[in-house]
Amino acid sequence: MPAPNDLLSVFETVIGLEVHAQLLTKSKMYCGCSAAYADAEPNTHVCPVCLGLPGALPVLNRAAIEYCLLTGLALDAEIPPACKLDRKNYVYPDLPKGYQISQYDLPLCVGGWLRFSSGGEERRAGITRVHVEEDTGRLVHRVDPGGAEESLVDLNRSGVPLMEIVGEPDLRSPEEARDYLIALRQVLRYIGASTGSMEDGAFRCDANVSVRRIGDPEFGAKVEIKNMNSFRAVERALRFEQERQQAALLAGETVAQETRGWIEDRGITVPQRTKEQAHDYRYFPEPDLPPLAVDESMVAGVRARLPELPATRRSRIAADYGLGPNEAALLTEERAVADVFEAAVGPPGDAASARVAANWIMNDLVGLQRQRGLPPETLPLDADQLRDLLAALAAGELTARAAKEVLPQITRGERPRDAARRLNLLSLDDDAAVRAAVDETVAAFPAAVADYRGGKTAAIGRLIGETIKRTGGRARPETVRAVMEDVLRKDNG
């Protein structure tokens, strides 16, 4: 079999993703139960509606509809004036009603596209539709103390608002699919529609993938992959499937149209069921909920809540503050982090101070954030504290080294200057003290001094470093350099 890279000139991979995202509403989709079920005892967030008891009537959650519209607007989708809800019928133990209330032929949002960057290039992929539905309950499989296997049903998740975002088959590689997902998750987090957490199951992805010979007008047989629980799993599963289908085509075999499950620990996909056996969901309009009229004022109200989106903000911050694309991408990964950066730096102007702020966020603050186990959107400093720190650095009150030392104190609310004074870390303004440290260093490192005087001027770096060390990091490098050059010149003369 030829190497995978050679196969790229023979075969084309076609991928489309279907994403299910839980919406960040307080209550469930069709009842008043709390949607925050994560830490709850099983079957405590339930009522007749989400238990599917006969005669219970659903009431539509307006916040969920608005989040879905907000997502559609963020993806440049069209919002048709009329839509409806439909019953999707199937039997499974985690679905007490025997049907899910979803949307079939008239979804809330139609069309649109997602901007994302992949392999250093800006890309866009089409969106087919975005619609609302409800989550199912959960099955817990376990072995009881007597050794018997049992499956338990927890209906806390039953009826939690869910949004399905169906993408066009516009993606051409597993890497691109991963980058698309990361960008989509970022959009949902920016607009506050979902936590986007794959670990918690709040952001789930099924992938449709087929392989065809380049130039073939027809798509290959479509395989649907399920059960991928991380961005990495999506990429790995798609790569496995791409290679499996290429190998089958090379061997003259046909690829079966089927659903396959990703087995994480074995790194393979296995058949789950063929499309012939797939459910016929027998969709029909939900009789207990009237069709939904989405008027212009509702759309306008939702549109007013739309923030600047990640792709736009990334390019604007790069251009306005003179930052590279990677720096801008890191700073805008989380909306709250980008907010801290912009609020601390202020309006664009001085590119040098913007870079200092960017470096502090990307290195020291994110480092401390990880060390303290804070979530990615929470920096250990707020914008005011960071602004204070940057001002003290710019005024020369603190050296960068001293600032790193007082960082923990600043995160506890102490002003940078106060913390530095208390810990005796304020910059040395006293020329005599710097001069004394320089003299000590010159006396202690005769070889480096001789090197410098012999023409190896780079030796001054070591002497400056040693002097700064002698002042406990309080002397400013530029002051030390000036005094050191002066001393070396004079003593030589």
Cβ nearer to Zn ion, comparing 50 with 390: 50
Question: Site size for Zn ion, by CB under 5 A?
Answer: 5
Residues 33-72 that bind Zn ion (CB under 5 A): 33, 47, 49-50
Query: Closest approach of Cβ 56 to Zn ion, in Å?
Result: 9
Which 8-state DSSP code applies to residue 276? Answer: G
Quote the tokens at residue 64: 């969920």
Cβ nearer to Zn ion, comparing 46 with 163: 46
Residue (of 222, 292, 235) closest to 66 by Cα position: 292
Query: Closest approach of Cβ 328 to Zn ion, in Å?
Result: 44
Backbone angles phi, psi at 112, to 5 degrees: 110, -175
Cβ nearer to Zn ion, comparing 176 with 286: 286
Cβ nearer to Zn ion, comparing 49 with 205: 49
- What CA–CA distance (Å, rounded) separates 161 from 42? 18
Cβ nearer to Zn ion, comparing 132 with 357: 132
Query: Closest approach of Cβ 19 to Zn ion, in Å?
Result: 25
Cβ nearer to Zn ion, comparing 155 with 177: 155
Residue-wise burial string across 49-75, b where 16 or more C-beta atoms lie within 10 A, e elsewhere: bbbbeeeeebeebeebbbbbbbbbbbb
Query: Closest approach of Cβ 31 to Zn ion, in Å?
Result: 3
- What CA–CA distance (Å, rounded) separates 333 from 324? 14
Angle at 431 between CA 429 and CA 432, to 5 degrees: 125
Quote the tokens at residue 287: 């009789």
Pairing of the two strands 223-228 and 258-263? parallel
Give the one residue of 31, 207, 426, 437 binding Zn ion; rule: CB under 5 A. Answer: 31
Query: Closest approach of Cβ 47 to Zn ion, in Å?
Result: 3
Query: Closest approach of Cβ 165 to Zn ion, in Å?
Result: 25
Instruction: Report the length, in residues, of the chain.
Output: 493
The one-letter amino acid code at 250 reads L
Query: Closest approach of Cβ 34 to Zn ion, in Å?
Result: 9
Asked if 179 contacts 118 with a C-beta cutoff of 8 angstroms, the reply is yes
Cβ nearer to Zn ion, comparing 50 with 393: 50
Task: Summarize as ranges the residues that interact with Zn ion (CB under 5 A).
Answer: 31, 33, 47, 49-50
